[in-house]
Structure 1
Amino acid sequence: MKISVIIPTYKPRAYLWECLDSLVAQTFSKDDFEVLLVLNGCSEPYKSNIEAYIEKRKEIINIRLTQTDTPGVSNARNIALDNAKGEYITFLDDDDYISPSYLEELYAKASPNTISLCYPYAFNDGNPEVQLSYGITDAYEYCIKNSCDSISSRVRKYFSGPCMKLIPMSFIQERRFDVRFKNGEDCIFMFLLSDKYKKMSFTSRNAIYYRRFREGSAVTTKRSKKEVVLNSLKCMNEYTKIFFRGNYSVYFYLSRIIAELGCQLQILIGKQ
């Protein structure tokens, strides 16, 4: 198996079908990738609806559904990683979707020591025709223009989360998402892997990750100032522990710490 696509989902709505349909439409051979869909923290009627979707398309796509009563996106992703068969891993959020050539182009650009990165397209739910300004899209444009192939300051924008890329499973091995964190776990996981990735490659603009911003998602859910500050301090502590126990870039480590300090500064001056 060449690629494992990991999708956690919780009480999904219609956007999940759009996400899965975009995988059905892939130009990459169905025999070369699997989809690991983990329904976490809920069961019916979502499980039956997903099973019905899979049954109708079992001849054209390989989707394996796992249901767990334990909630949490990190736990769901860890379950999928424990069962993944692919040489490479890509993560997809259940309210996002991808262009038809996404997997094919990412795989063509990947290698055992290289992470391949796609073109990100952000939009507001209900208005996909209007592309939003997005820092990772800006990073893509900069890196294409300047032929970036290593983890420069601009490329680091891609590594705040696990999506929009193809990661060699050899980089991940037994490393997993930290289930103690409800916010910031994506950044911590990507930092945990950062001692492995040195080279980057970029697809064409045809390999698109469509990033949906919607009300009620984890990204848009408001948190209290106290929650944000305490979580930020916990993240800084975890980055520091990881940094001192491995061969990690001091520049990448400092960029993570500075980002957390910036978050706290915004709280203090009342911007959150």
Structure 2
Amino acid sequence: MKISVIVPTYKPQAYLWECLDSIYNQTFPKSDYDLLIVLNGCCEPYNSQIKDWLSAHKDLKVQYIQTDQGGVSNARNIALDKANGEYVTFIDDDDLISPLYLKELYDNATPDTVSLCYPYAFNDGEIEKQLPYRITDAYNYCTQHNCRSLTSRARKFFSGPCMKLIPMSFIQGRKYDVRFKNGEDSLFMFLISDKIKMVAFTSKDAVYYRRYRTGSATMANRKIWGIVRNQLRMIKEYSLIFCSHPLKYNFNFYLTRIMGAVRGIF
């Protein structure tokens, strides 16, 4: 199997079917990728709805797991344990991808390279209106300047696991830290960054559509003290990871993660 596509979901709404349809409608051969869906922290009626979608798309290779234990990190860890692909890509359940997404990511990937796509942000219900997005700006800069290494602009792609194709050899059994409810994406990407030496970019035909919607986890308000405590814990974990192998991790990447955590406090 060339690619494993991981989609965690919790109490999904209509946007999940857009996400799954976009994965089903890839130009990449269906024999070369599989889909891992993890429904976490809930069951009915979502379980039956997902099974109905799967029944209508039997030609797609799918592993479907329902777990009563909540948390996106736990869901992704479950999927990673079952992934069979040489490469893995993560897609959030309220986002979607263009038909050439998997093909171009795979065409640009190598065993020592993370392949990155074109990011497109939009408000829910207004996909035709592209929003300003710092990662889109990073893509434009990197493609114009032919960035191939983990430069400061390229690192903007690594605050989360989506929008990219990651060699499974980079992960090597390492997991998302389920103790964190916020910032765990960035922490995981830093954890595996000791393996990231090269990046490659697709054309603008390989699009990851990032949906902004009211009530999503990334848009939820949090109490000030909870934010401060979480960011201080993040700083500690970044430092423990970096200090465990200081010669393997990129110091500038570590420094920007610390600065990002500090900015998150203020």
Measured on the aligned residues, the alpha-carbon RMSD in Å equals 0.6
Instruction: Tell me the equivalent position of 1:131.
Output: 130
Deviation per CA, 1:181-209, whole angstroms, max 9, x where unpaired?
A: 00000000000011000000000000000
Instruction: Tell me the equivalent position of 1:269.
Output: none
In structure 1, distance between residues paired with 2:78 and 2:172? 13
In structure 2, distance between residues paired with 1:39 and 1:260? 29
In structure 2, distance between residues paired with 1:126 and 1:167? 30
Deviation at 1:173, TM superposition (A): 1.1
Q: Structure 1: which 5+ residue stretches go unaligned?
A: 267-272
Q: Structure 2: which 5+ residue stretches go unaligned?
A: none
In structure 2, distance between residues paired with 1:127 and 1:109? 30
Deviation at 1:220, TM superposition (A): 0.3
1:180 aligns to what SS in structure 2? coil
Deviation per CA, 1:191-232, whole angstroms, max 9, x where unpaired?
A: 001100000000000000000000111110000111111100
Matching residue's letter, 1:225: I
In structure 1, distance between residues paired with 2:78 and 2:263? 33
Q: Does 1:166 align with 2:165?
A: yes
Deviation at 1:250, TM superposition (A): 1.0
1:57 aligns to what SS in structure 2? coil
> TM-score when scaled to structure 1?
0.96
Deviation at 1:239, TM superposition (A): 0.1
Instruction: Tell me the equivalent position of 1:39.
Output: 39
Deviation at 1:62, TM superposition (A): 1.4
Matching residue's letter, 1:150: S
Instruction: Tell me the equivalent position of 2:258.
Output: 257
Instruction: Tell me the equivalent position of 2:82.
Output: 83
1:195 aligns to what SS in structure 2? helix
Deviation per CA, 1:98-149, whole angstroms, max 9, x where unpaired?
A: 0000000000000000000000000000111100000000000000110000
In structure 2, distance between residues paired with 1:124 and 1:30? 30
Matches within 5 A, 1:196-235: 196-235=195-234
2:252 aligns to what SS in structure 1? helix
In structure 1, distance between residues paired with 2:9 and 2:192? 24
Deviation at 1:63, TM superposition (A): 1.8
Instruction: Tell me the equivalent position of 1:179.
Output: 178
In structure 2, distance between residues paired with 1:263 and 1:34? 36
Instruction: Tell me the equivalent position of 2:113.
Output: 114
1:219 aligns to what SS in structure 2? helix
Instruction: Tell me the equivalent position of 2:55.
Output: 55
Matching residue's letter, 1:89: V
Deviation at 1:77, TM superposition (A): 0.1
> TM-score when scaled to structure 2?
0.98
Instruction: Tell me the equivalent position of 1:11.
Output: 11
Matches within 5 A, 1:238-257: 238-246=237-245, 247-257=248-258
Q: Does 1:30 align with 2:38?
A: no
Higher mean C-alpha displacement, 255-264 vs 29-38: 255-264
Matching residue's letter, 2:30: K
In structure 2, distance between residues paired with 1:171 and 1:243? 16
Equivalenced residues, count: 264
| Runs of 4+ residues deviating >4 angstroms | none
Instruction: Tell me the equivalent position of 1:192.
Output: 191
In structure 2, distance between residues paired with 1:131 and 1:225? 31
Q: Does 1:92 align with 2:91?
A: yes
Deviation at 1:260, TM superposition (A): 1.1
In structure 1, distance between residues paired with 2:28 and 2:262? 42
Deviation at 1:72, TM superposition (A): 0.1
